[in-house]
Amino acid sequence: MSEAYEPRLKAEYRARIRAAMKEQFGYSNEMQVPALDKVVINMGVGEAVADSKKLQSALAALQAISGQKPVATTARKSIAGFKLREGMKVGAKVTLRRERMYEFLDRLVTIALPRVKDFRGLNGKSFDGRGNYAMGLKEHLVFPEINYDQVDSSWGMDIIVCTTARTNEEAKALLTEFNFPFRN
């Protein structure tokens, strides 16, 4: 019987990170140690109002990046100045959990972030107070899954990393153990 595949970051969490966090914060129980919960990727496609092919292209790009089929998001309110009606599809989002989450974070930290132009590190203050970290990318072209020659336009994306940490300090320590390059 062969052993099931386990992502590199998940194995590292079980082997090293959990023990380091337990020692650093003095947790008495193994279940108190913060862990990664989910990663939400959101891509707003404002040009989809005029051209629905842009949304299809963004959905395909997000599927290639995440390895999971994204959901098209709709406008909540009508805005006449932007020719936007309630219910129009204007973006895409995907929620990653378990193995796909670890695989995506591994690619993000080791491949995509070093490819960002003029990258000086992630903002260490983008935590929400409950242990969740939000970051943005200006263009989706930094991921190796995207073929630059077949892209008609570049989109930004928001990436939210949700953890089970109770405080910003615990969450930052956890993400630092996962090699997130914080600048401060």
Q: Where along the chain do its domains lie?
A: 34-177
Pick the range with the lowest mean pLDDT from 11-15, 55-59, 84-88, 98-102: 84-88
pLDDT bin (cut points 50, 70, 90) of residue 3 is low
Phi, psi of 169 (to 5 degrees): -60, -45
Which architecture does CATH list for 34-177? 2-Layer Sandwich (3.30)
Q: What is the mean pLDDT of residues 148-172?
A: 84
Question: Does 132 have pLDDT greater than 50?
Answer: yes
pLDDT bin (cut points 50, 70, 90) of residue 94 is very high
Q: Which residues of 158-177 are buried (b: 16+ CB within 10 A; e: fewer)?
A: ebbbbbbbeebebbbbbbeb
Q: Give the model confidence (pLDDT) of 13-35 as tens digits.
A: 888 888 888 888 888 888 888 88
CA distance 95 to 86: 23
Q: What is the pLDDT of residue 1?
A: 46
CA distance 40 to 84: 25
Question: Does 184 have pLDDT greater than 70?
Answer: no
